[in-house]
Amino acid sequence: MVVSRFAPSPTGYLHLGNARTAIFAYLFARHHRGKFILRIEDTDRERSTKEFEEMLLEDLKWLGLEWDEFYRQSERFDIYREYAQKLLDNGHAYPCFCTVEELEKEREEAEKKGIPYRYSGKCRLLSKEEVEAFKREGKPFTIRFKVPDGRVVVFEDLIKGAISIKVDDFGDFVIVRSDGSPTYNFVVVIDDALMGVTHVIRGEDHIPNTPKQILIYEALGFQVPKFAHLPVILGEDRSKLSKRHGAVSVRNYREEGYFPEALFNYLCLLGWSPPNTEREIFSKEELIELFRLEDVNSSPAVFSKEKLRWLNGVYIREVLSLDRLVEEFMPFLEREGLSAEKDYVRKVLEKTRDSFETLKEGVERLKVFFVEEVSYSQEAISLLENENSRRVLELFLHKLQERDNLSGQVVKELAKEIQKELNLKAKDVWHTLRASLTGELEGVGVDIICDVMPKEKVIKRIVRALGRF
């Protein structure tokens, strides 16, 4: 059975690169009817927090990911100690008593020679008696993995192809720190092996870790999984993705009013696309059916916030039901201190869902429907102070009061009548009406406002505008 995993560290928000890794690992497992594991890698005691863990879980659930098994590394320390002891017992690891000062001196000497630093391995040569003596003295020690000299580790990456790395490039590495806490390269092997992970899907920044992990797999007699290292995500200027490219956390996009389906869909298409189709909108079920690691591009993907905004807009306009849009819109409205009956919000969104691309933008653009009184921009004030504007509003008010109801069609008819009677251009009439109803010269169409807003509210705004000038 195929088993994949996502293993984040709770040391910060879930960023887009990690979210894409989680999605690819999830799609791969679901495509093969396999198992998807979530493992919280919280062995970094100083930086890991419960708060970040809770936010990670919330954001992954919001994206639509569900997992079959869940683990925390901090709850598995007894297991790691057992396997560290096995490596000591079988001669694949040894205690290292070198002090920080001694190691720093080695590093400085390597720098002077202009060569990459690797641990000298001098504690490899300690006799059993020397080791026991140091332990009796209470001398602190780490546990290092004994890397075989001259080995070249070769593995077939499912995305990158064949990769070979000389072990002499990194030397003996620490698997347990002096405080007893295990290191990443050690625990990830133990966990993946014991959890039956068959495919390790992760970012290409982990490629240098892979040979170290393969050596540990071999030393413990574990089956080595298949590796797939995802290419990095770049900004549109081809530099490393950062906040200036819009590469903020998943949570930030939630708070901006992006939909999880849209973000999930977009992240899937960063470095992967199903063959033989030009489509860009896919349901999660379709993506599960179509996803194959062989179709992942080995070159970096390019993130475009504008493309993501566009895709979110497509979901708002064409994909999501109106009921869902209303449900998601209401909290954003309340966050801005605004409120309205759900039926009224539904009427507003039914007419305006094509005018915004995020829920936060929607609240800003549609605020005019939910406030008691609008604020006038300087341009609107200048226009409304015009004598022709006053005449337009007075005549519109008079004609409106003669009508039983108000609609977009009615306001179009009245505008034509006013234009003809006052001998004005169409834009003079429409701009005046918009300025009085919205406080702006641009924005939501007057006909849409009159289709949705109660007649008495429209009259109240016209009267207020006339009273000001």
Query: How much is the average pLDDT of 131-145?
Result: 96
* 172 and 134 both lie in a single domain: yes
* 379 and 443 both lie in a single domain: yes
pLDDT classification of 400: cutoffs 50, 70, 90: confident
Query: How much is the average pLDDT of 85-92?
Result: 97
Among 136, 152, 176, residue at a domain's last position: 176
Looking at residue 43, its pLDDT comes to 83
Looking at residue 55, its pLDDT comes to 95
* 62 and 195 both lie in a single domain: yes
Q: pLDDT above 70 covers what percent of the chain? A: 98
pLDDT classification of 327: cutoffs 50, 70, 90: very high
* 114 and 160 both lie in a single domain: yes
pLDDT classification of 243: cutoffs 50, 70, 90: low
CATH of the domain at 121: 3.90.800.10
Our count of domains for the chain comes to 5
* 381 and 464 both lie in a single domain: yes
Domain-located, residue 237: no
* 308 and 393 both lie in a single domain: no
Looking at residue 236, its pLDDT comes to 79
* 208 and 225 both lie in a single domain: yes
Domain-located, residue 238: no
CB 173 within 8 A of CB 149: no
* 91 and 63 both lie in a single domain: no
Per the prediction, the chain carries an average pLDDT of 93
Looking at residue 271, its pLDDT comes to 93
Domain-located, residue 450: yes
pTM for this model (two decimals): 0.91
* 349 and 218 both lie in a single domain: no
Query: How much is the average pLDDT of 100-127?
Result: 91
* 344 and 394 both lie in a single domain: no
Domain-located, residue 206: yes
Domain-located, residue 82: yes
CATH of the domain at 353: 1.10.8.70
pLDDT classification of 235: cutoffs 50, 70, 90: confident
* 253 and 297 both lie in a single domain: yes
CATH of the domain at 257: 1.10.1160.10
Domain-located, residue 103: yes
Query: How much is the average pLDDT of 212-235?
Result: 96
Looking at residue 244, its pLDDT comes to 63
* 327 and 256 both lie in a single domain: no
Looking at residue 134, its pLDDT comes to 95
Res. 227: pLDDT tops 90: yes
Looking at residue 169, its pLDDT comes to 85
CATH of the domain at 443: 1.10.10.350
Looking at residue 246, its pLDDT comes to 57
Domain-located, residue 340: yes
Q: Is 243 a catalytic residue?
A: yes
The boundaries of the domain holding residue 210 are 3-70+185-232
Give the model confidence (pLDDT) of 114-127 as tens digits: 888 899 999 999 99
Domain-located, residue 436: yes
Query: How much is the average pLDDT of 371-388?
Result: 90
Looking at residue 403, its pLDDT comes to 85
Q: Which of 105, 122, 240, 243 is catalytic?
A: 243
Res. 145: pLDDT tops 70: yes
Query: How much is the average pLDDT of 305-320?
Result: 96
pLDDT classification of 150: cutoffs 50, 70, 90: confident
Res. 345: pLDDT tops 70: yes
Looking at residue 44, its pLDDT comes to 78
Give the model confidence (pLDDT) of 175-207 as tens digits: 999 999 999 999 999 999 999 999 999 999 999
